[in-house]
Amino acid sequence: MTASGHLDELDRRIIAALQSDGRASWTEIAELSGSSVATVARRGQALLRDGVVRVAAIPGNNHPGPADLYVLRITCSPGTQFEVLNELVRFPDLRFLGLVTGPYDILAELSLRREESLLSRIVEEILAIDGVQRCDTDLTLHVFKVSSDWARQLLTDEAPHTPGEAHQCDPGHLDEVDHEIVDLMRDDGRASFRTVATAIGLNESTVRRRFETMIGRGCLQVTTLVPAAAMGFESEVILNITVAPPFLDEVARTLSAYRGVRYVAAMLSHNALMCELILPTTKDLFAFTTNTLGRLEGVQGWTASVVLLVLRRGFVETPWWRDSLERGPSPDA
């Protein structure tokens, strides 16, 4: 980082390389970022230590049993958003939690075990939080894409490979030992297999084999978390896209192939797709909405929210959100 605390070009290239492979060696990252191994290792370790970036092992399913994913759109009383966020971030089964602009204040994804009561969770827990005025809840029917290498273009001009459809992880894919491995690597996706093996009393080769099996199946993803703005990206947007029913699948798959689209899912309500978009500039956002989204057959319209702050992604708490809230009113005031 520069003396002012901002990420410079090398920092961003190191982080982009970590997005491509969060467990890559510093030698491999140095080759991608175009600097020496010593410099890259020093810079990269500082970025991780200071909480600028976090490499996390994120499971496709956070529970040992069947679960459904719900999108919560939460409206708060004026001036209470930070207090509400400070309560919500404590919920471990929120896959995503963010402060956004638009008709609601907070967007969250809740992974709820089917044996649990949605009624109880919404009425007795979410709506009971001081400051929450309303919680609109929608069911996620199908996830088409989850991508974590949106900063790839900082390393290469080559078009990214067309992603396969997001893996729908069955809870039976992971046993108790797998969940132990995931829990240990959730906040440190670069933890050595030896360290993890020692912690759970297994040999290193067993941990490595289990980890690689989870990655290969798509049940686990090593993701590098970093604020889009820190990487120089101006536009992080959530789109709720209304699509004529016969075109829903086709539109979702077309959007999934677009570089700036990080996430696409079909929702139960309003024949809608929810799409997360991360782009370098507002000009790029204009080009996407006019030349891509606006010309897709079947798209009937959309609403948008700008993401202001992300507190949880992939069930993992981001290391930078508390500093952001400290610049506003105290959450504990």
Q: Is the pLDDT of residue 310 over 60?
A: yes
Grade residue 163 by pLDDT with cuts at 50, 70 and 90.
low
Average pLDDT over residues 168-184: 83
Same structural domain, 41 and 126: no
Same structural domain, 254 and 145: yes
Grade residue 148 by pLDDT with cuts at 50, 70 and 90.
confident
Asked whether residue 157 is assigned to any structural domain, the reply reads: no
Asked whether residue 170 is assigned to any structural domain, the reply reads: no
Grade residue 161 by pLDDT with cuts at 50, 70 and 90.
low
Same structural domain, 243 and 200: no
Count CB-CB contacts under 10 A for residue 261: 25
Q: Is the pLDDT of residue 43 over 90?
A: yes
* Number of domains comprising the chain: 3
Same structural domain, 146 and 270: yes
Asked whether residue 126 is assigned to any structural domain, the reply reads: yes
Average pLDDT over residues 271-276: 94
Same structural domain, 239 and 294: yes
Asked whether residue 205 is assigned to any structural domain, the reply reads: yes
Q: Is the pLDDT of residue 286 over 50?
A: yes
Asked whether residue 145 is assigned to any structural domain, the reply reads: yes
Same structural domain, 208 and 77: no
Mean pLDDT of the chain: 89
Average pLDDT over residues 319-330: 71
What pLDDT sits at residue 25? 96
Query: Could you give the CA distance from residue 316 to residue 185 in angstroms, rounded to a whole number?
Result: 11
Asked whether residue 236 is assigned to any structural domain, the reply reads: yes
Strands 272-279 and 316-317: unpaired
What pLDDT sits at residue 3? 35
Q: Is the pLDDT of residue 186 over 60?
A: yes
Of 108, 106, 102, the closest CA to residue 80 belongs to: 106
What pLDDT sits at residue 162? 52
Asked whether residue 331 is assigned to any structural domain, the reply reads: no
Asked whether residue 302 is assigned to any structural domain, the reply reads: yes
CATH number at residue 274: 3.30.70.3460
What pLDDT sits at residue 264? 96
What pLDDT sits at residue 330? 46
Average pLDDT over residues 253-263: 92
What pLDDT sits at residue 324? 73
What distance lies between CA 250 and its chain's CA centroid? 24
Distances (CA, A) of 295 to 10, 239, 273, 289: 37, 16, 16, 8
What pLDDT sits at residue 141? 96
Least reliable range by pLDDT among 61-75, 85-99, 251-265: 61-75
Count CB-CB contacts under 10 A for residue 8: 11
Same structural domain, 45 and 191: no
Q: Is the pLDDT of residue 169 over 80?
A: no
Domain residues for the domain of 42 are: 9-52
Same structural domain, 315 and 181: no
Domain boundary among 199, 218, 237: 218
Q: Is the pLDDT of residue 36 over 70?
A: yes
What pLDDT sits at residue 270? 82
Distances (CA, A) of 315 to 42, 60, 90, 117: 28, 10, 11, 20
User: Strand, helix or coil at 65?
Assistant: coil
**Per-residue H/E/C for 86-131:** HHHCCCCCEEEEEEECCCCCEEEEEEEECCCCHHHHHHHHHCCCCC
Same structural domain, 36 and 182: no
| DSSP states along 244-313 | -GGGHHHHHHHHHTSTTEEEEEEESGGGEEEEEEEES-HHHHHHIIIIIGGGSTTEEEEEEEEEEEEEEE
Give the side-chain half-sphere CA count within 13 A for 228. 23
What pLDDT sits at residue 2? 42
Q: Is the pLDDT of residue 327 over 70?
A: no
Name, in order, each residue with C-beta under 8 angstroms of 21's C-beta and a sequence gap of 6 or more. Answer: 28, 222
Name, in order, each residue with C-beta under 8 angstroms of 258's C-beta and a sequence gap of 6 or more. Answer: 288, 292
- 37: part of which helix (H) or strand (E)? helix 37-49
Grade residue 67 by pLDDT with cuts at 50, 70 and 90.
confident
Q: Is the pLDDT of residue 329 over 70?
A: no
Same structural domain, 91 and 132: yes
CATH number at residue 214: 1.10.10.10
Same structural domain, 143 and 95: yes
Q: Give the tens place of pLDDT for each residue, 69-102.
A: 999 999 999 999 999 999 999 999 999 999 999 9
- 209: part of which helix (H) or strand (E)? helix 204-217
Q: Is the pLDDT of residue 216 over 60?
A: yes
Instruction: Note whether 263 and 96 are within 8 A (CB).
Output: no
Least reliable range by pLDDT among 76-90, 153-167, 242-256: 153-167
Same structural domain, 134 and 75: yes
